[in-house]
Structure formats: structure tokens, C-alpha cells
Amino acid sequence: MLPLTLTIWFSDEALRDWQPPVGGKPGGQRRYSDIAIEAALTVRAVYGLALRQTEGFLRSVARLLHLDIEIPDHSTLSRRSSSLRAHLRKTSAADSPVHILIDSTGLQAHRGATPPADRRNRRTWRKLHLVVDLTTAEIRTSKITTHRTRDSTPVSDLLASITRRLASVRADGAYDRASVYRAIEDHASAGPTPTRMLIPPGRNAKPSDNAGVDSDQRDKNVEHIASHGRRHWQKASGYTRRSLVETAVWRFKNEFSGALSSRSMPAQVAEVHIACSILNTMTKLGMPDGHCVW
């Protein structure tokens, strides 16, 4: 049996910026930069630790590595996580148009300071919205909302952070709404070719004149399905590649247990962004090469 090994390193940039520069405002100054807080919360997410455990773990690592840095205590991590502006690390650079996949899933969370009507039930749900790059399998952007939010509502905000032109957008039937088509068309208005919108319309879908959805792409999908069937449209259009975003959702829940540790919405937003950055780092290190075997 091979011995269990653990390799951890701190970059010179992180050590240099561990403490924030002295500000010009009067009063007490922050002892830890956002990099230090994000690094601690990243370790917490990777190993599934509580805040007190994260504090003790990092103190032990700093002592073993002879690092002359102070480790944030658990109270500081809890307080600063609500104001941390964590962001997704840069994805693979490319100039070509991007093919994106959109989906959402539910995450269990604690209600926090607001007690429910039934005090025995302090659990609630948050909805995680993901945008995945079809080519690289990386998470382009994410958003956390309450469970009462429609799947299609945050699409405009999700697309706003994508600077590259959209080559195609794949999403399930929950996104067959006029607001989604408008958001995609407005984002790709400067492109030389229209964005392919591979969103399956409803079972009794009608053309735009009768459905109130002004989209030529949707009309083509409705006509194709009416003539050849839904299964033929899915295979011919390439809609089946949308399964990659479902794989990303499974990876997120498998790695982070499908539940949020933070209690406030701002802290939950930071927690989700850190988790997505971790998944992107794992994706860049390598993805399995799967083949169908019969």
C-alpha cells in the first residue's frame, strides 16, 4: 500500500500580497488581503472543512513550511466571506466564437438569521445557474439565486460577463422564453452570423406569430420538429451535446456535496464562485477520455 502524501505550495505572489497595503483611512486596518481570505476558503472547499478546522489546518501547514504569515481565524473568515469579491479565474484564452451550455440545479442551504415558520426546518434551497463552454468544459460564469427564481430569469446577467461572440447556445425547454431569445440576440447583435439557439420548444409550440416569441431560430426549430420529430432534431442539430453541462452539475455536487456551508446570500455567492474556480482548475489539469463500450 502506497503512503498517503499531500503536496501544498504557496506562490510567491500570494505570500507577497498576503497582507493588504496600509490604507489612508483612519481607524483599524485589515490584517488580511482578499487573496488570503480566498486562499483559506479554497482550502476549506477542497477538503470539506469547517471554519475552525480550516484555521487549524492552515496554521499547521504554515508551521511546517516555516512561513512567516498570520493565518485568519475562523471568525474573520466568516465575516470576510460575506464581502469577498471572489471571481472565476481566467478560462482558456481564445478569439473564436464560444459555444455555451446553460443549466441550473438546486443546492441545499441554511436559512441563516431568518427563522422559518416551522423552527424544526431551518433548511432552504438555492438555485445555481451555470454557463459551460462546450469546447473546454470550463465554467464560464455562474449565479446563485433563490429557489423561487425561474431558470430563464438570470440568462441576461449570465451572458453579460461573456465578452466573446456566441456561436451557439444550448439549453433545455425551461429556457424557451421570449426573454432568453432577446438576451441572446442582443448579445450577438454585433456578430456577422446569427447565434444558433438550440432550445427545444414546448410540445404544442407554435410559430412566433402565435406564441409571442419573435425569433427566427425558434421558428426553424418548431418547423423541423413538426416535420421530422423531436428526436431527429436533437441529433441533427447537435442539441445532445448539452449533456456536458449536466456533467458539470454532477461534478459540482459530487465534489461539494450539493449543499452550501455559508448561511448568508453574499457568502454563498463567494462560496459558489470559489467552487467553480476549483472545478475549472481541475478541468485544466486534465479530463478523462471516455469511450462508449458495448
Q: Rounded distance, CA 22 to CA 28, Å? A: 10
Q: Quick check: helix, strand or coil at residue 139?
A: strand
Whether the per-residue pLDDT at 211 is higher than 60: the answer is no
Q: What's the pTM value of the predicted model, to 2 decimals?
A: 0.86
Q: Quote the pLDDT of residue 290.
A: 72
Residue 73: all three cell numbers together: 481565524
Q: Rounded distance, CA 61 to CA 71, Å? A: 10
257-269 pLDDT per residue, tens: 889 999 889 999 9
- Average pLDDT for residues 131-139, to the nearest whole number? 93
Whether the per-residue pLDDT at 278 is higher than 90: the answer is yes
Are 129 and 101 spatial neighbours (Cβ–Cβ below 8 Å)? no
Whether the per-residue pLDDT at 35 is higher than 80: the answer is yes
222-268 pLDDT per residue, tens: 888 888 999 999 999 999 999 999 999 999 999 998 899 998 899 99
Mean pLDDT taken over the chain: 86
Whether the per-residue pLDDT at 270 is higher than 70: the answer is yes
Of 22-26, 121-125, 231-235, 280-284, the range with the lowest mean pLDDT is: 22-26
Q: Quote the pLDDT of residue 186.
A: 86
Q: Rounded distance, CA 145 to CA 126, Å? A: 6
Start-to-end C-alpha separation, the chain: 33
86-125 pLDDT per residue, tens: 665 656 556 688 999 999 999 998 876 666 666 666 678 9
